[in-house]
Chain A
Amino acid sequence: DTGVSQDPRHKITKRGQNVTFRCDPISEHNRLYWYRQTLGQGPEFLTYFQNEAQLEKSRLLSDRFSAERPKGSFSTLEIQRTEQGDSAMYLCASSLSRGESGRVTDTQYFGPGTRLTVL
């Protein structure tokens, strides 16, 4: 396993701009989760995918937020018309509900995160 990777690691943008983050999960992991962590707080769940299907979305995920996982591998999280309140660390995690080998890993493995600063 090469680990969960996220790109970019840091993003500074001006209020009103759109931003997109990418997450590459551990290969074979079919579940992918997005969390948001603000300063001094624990991560908060945003949404998760089983393969390409988005199964749950938090009420935190306003209409300005959209997440996709088009081929069941990497995922993108887009924020439109960013606001200063969107400044946070965006974390991605992945797990394996069942692989072809029958292997199961329900532990969520986290990436390093993307730190967003909205000026």
Chain B
Amino acid sequence: AQSVTQLGSHVSVSEGALVLLRCNYSSSVPPYLFWYVQYPNQGLQLLLKYTTGATLVKGINGFEAEFKKSETSFHLTKPSAHMSDAAEYFCAVSEGGFQKLVFGTGTRLLVSP
């Protein structure tokens, strides 16, 4: 069975600082990996996804993530945090396209001035 572990339920950074949100996955088949962001009382918005090919994936709003098979990781980074980045971030895995997503428990990003 697939699973996702997100280390740290809360991450606090200062505006302008590096953002690093950690995600480790478990999958018996080559995974599809996703990062979604959720603002309060809203649905989920896709930030980026990895399917095949280049292991460094660039997404919206300056975020990127790197797929590292040897470490079973897909950490999300952004060089400089903005106040508008404050939200809940979810990492998810699936067994390929069009399959159900298995989500982690989420990491709340707090950005201070």
Which of A's residues lie within 8 Å of B, judged by CB? Answer: 4, 6, 31, 33, 35, 40-45, 48, 56, 58, 91, 93, 95, 97, 104, 106-113, 115
A42 CB contact (under 8 Å) in B41, B49, B106: B106
In the bound complex, how far is the Cα of B100 from the Cα of A58, in angstroms?
A: 10
In the bound complex, how far is the Cα of B102 from the Cα of A42, in angstroms?
A: 9
Asked if residues A112 and B43 are in contact (CB atoms below 8 Å), the reply is yes
Asked if residues A107 and B49 are in contact (CB atoms below 8 Å), the reply is yes
Asked if residues A43 and B45 are in contact (CB atoms below 8 Å), the reply is no
CB distance from B97 to the nearest CB of A (A): 3
Cβ contacts under 8 Å, B101 to chain A: 33, 35, 43, 45, 108
Cβ contacts under 8 Å, B9 to chain A: 40
Nearest chain-A residue to B36 (Cβ)?
A: A110
Asked if residues B100 and A33 are in contact (CB atoms below 8 Å), the reply is yes
B105 at the binding interface (Cβ < 8 Å): yes
B25 at the binding interface (Cβ < 8 Å): no
